[in-house]
Structure formats: structure tokens, C-alpha cells
Amino acid sequence: MNLQYEKCVMIIDGQLPIGIIANTAAIMGITLGKNIPEVVGNDVYDKTGNKHLGIITFPIPILKGDIQTIKTIRQKLYQPEYSDLTVVDFSDVAQMCNSYTEFIIKIKSVAEAELNYIGIALCGKKRKINKLTANIALLK
């Protein structure tokens, strides 16, 4: 990933409790790492020789959205012009499940229009990411 031309961001519903915000970011981050493994750096060693697993090699700003903003962006991302972006969405359906098996079963019975997205992560061309997120503030 060439950081001069590419970018990753997360947009999370800022109205959520801090624990759910943290959980949402963690889940989306793990999924990004799985789908774009080249962004995770090599393991490193401290001065005493202790190993530390590689972390992502660039920052990922976390932006403060709301359910409607995130849903609007998610719907835009289904358009062909955004098909080259890596998109991780996290919905209320996923957040309420206690297992992946439960999620698989529940998501099959929910139409996309009924989903409430609590977070979304985007990676790809900086120009496209900025076009989608330019007016969204950092989550603080």
C-alpha cells in the first residue's frame, strides 16, 4: 500500500458507549489485517531481545459518525466506482451476536436496508476516501 496515494479510515457511531466503540474498532481492525495483510509490519525486538508482534505500518484515523452517516456511506460503497476499496462494515446485527454461527444465521434474515451500521472501515485510493469522509470529524 502506497501511503502517498492510499488511505484507511474508520467511521464509528460516536453516540455508542466507549466499550462498544473500542470493540467495533478492534473487530474492523482484525478484519482489515486479514484482508490486507501487507499493511501489518514485521515483528520487532526491543533492546532486551523480547519479541513484539508487528503492528499496522500507518495510522488509521477514527472518525465520529452516526448511524445515518455511516449508512449513507455504506450505500454509496455498493456503487461500481467504489468497487476497488476494501470495506469492512459492522452492524447492530453483528454486535448483538454471541458467536459467528449466530451472526451467519441472523444476517441471512435481514435485508441490507434494515441494517444499522455502527462502524465502517475503508481502505483504498486517498482521493476516494477523502471524497466520502471529508466532512466527518475525528472521534475524540
9-33 pLDDT, tens digit per residue, is 999 999 999 999 999 999 999 999 9
Superfamily of domain 6-133: Bit1 (3.40.1490.10)
Cβ-based burial of 38 (10 A; exposed 0-12, middle 13-18, buried ≥19): exposed
Q: How far apart are CA 41 and CA 137, in angstroms?
A: 28
Phi-psi map region of 115: left, alpha, beta (phi>0 left; psi -120 to 50 alpha): beta
Q: Which pLDDT tens digit goes with each residue over 95-129? A: 999 999 999 999 999 999 999 999 999 999 999 99
Question: In the 8-state DSSP scheme, what is residue 91?
Answer: E
Predicted TM-score (pTM) of the model is 0.92
Domain parsing of the chain, residue ranges: 6-133
